[in-house]
A and B are shown apart, each in its own frame.
Chain A
Amino acid sequence: KNQVEQSPQSLIILEGKNCTLQCNYTVSPFSNLRWYKQDTGRGPVSLTIMTFSENTKSNGRYTATLDADTKQSSLHITASQLSDSASYICVVSSTKGSSGDKLTFGTGTRLAVRP
């Protein structure tokens, strides 16, 4: 069964500090791995998408890494801001022909940034 596991479940950091969120997956076949940010009461919004051949991808203060051999990914947030408070969801995509994206979602890491 395809699974995506994230850690920690929740995290509290002070504004300006860095943090790293982890994602382990067992999804086959693998197409790409995505990190989404979900603000409370909103839909998820994509931060990064990485394919099998990509090790690192950045989006502003967000940097995602992917190790396809160990099936692990991380999301590093630099110089955190209060607006970074949200849930961060790791999503792995597997594709089967023309059947569209098959996304397996992690349960998310809830990040709280305190002043």
Chain B
Amino acid sequence: NAGVTQTPKFQVLKTGQSMTLQCAQDMNHNSMYWYRQDPGMGLRLIYYSASEGTTDKGEVPNGYNVSRLNKREFSLRLESAAPSQTSVYFCASSRWAGNGNTEAFFGQGTRLTVV
């Protein structure tokens, strides 16, 4: 059972470089999410995709773009990385059933350092 798979697990970028974080889920979930986790703070939503073909901004979207490539895949792109984007990034998915009582499954995380 792969669940939610993120790549890469670790990445070091120089300021100004770009990169894409990949996420795929094999649970046929409708909704997918990108979060960042910083020390002393709860996970914060960057972007989400309630269903295939739609994406919406979360709490901290600046500096990021996303693509819901298909139902399985949801990528997060940093066009010009900044040290403030040093963080651990988590992708998650849930089977949105309209009643809110759906469990979210998280990937293992990507630890990104921008120098």
Contacts and interface: CB of A to CB of B under 8 A. Distances in A.
Interface string A74-105: 00000000000000010001110011111111
B106 A100 contact: no
Contacts of A46: 103-105
A43 interface: yes
Interface residues of B, number: 32
A56 interface: no
A43 B103 contact: no
Interface of A is mostly: strand
B109 A108 contact: no
A49 interface: yes
Contacts of B96: 98, 100-101
Contact of B31 (A4, A31, A44, A100): A100
Given A4-B42, A32-B101, A93-B100, A43 B109 contact: yes
Interface residues of A, number: 27
Interface in B85-115: 90, 92, 94, 96, 98-109
Interface stretch (B12-20, B43-51, B74-82): B43-51
Interface in A10-55: 31-32, 34, 41-46, 49, 51
A107 interface: yes
Contact of B106 (A32, A44, A106): A44
B40 interface: yes
Interface of B: 4, 30-31, 33, 35, 40-45, 48-51, 56, 90, 92, 94, 96, 98-109
22 contacts: A31-B101, A32-B100, A34-B103, A42-B108, A43-B92, A43-B108, A44-B43, A44-B90, A44-B106, A46-B103, A46-B104, A49-B101, A49-B103, A89-B43, A98-B51, A98-B98, A99-B50, A100-B94, A101-B31, A101-B94, A105-B42, A107-B41
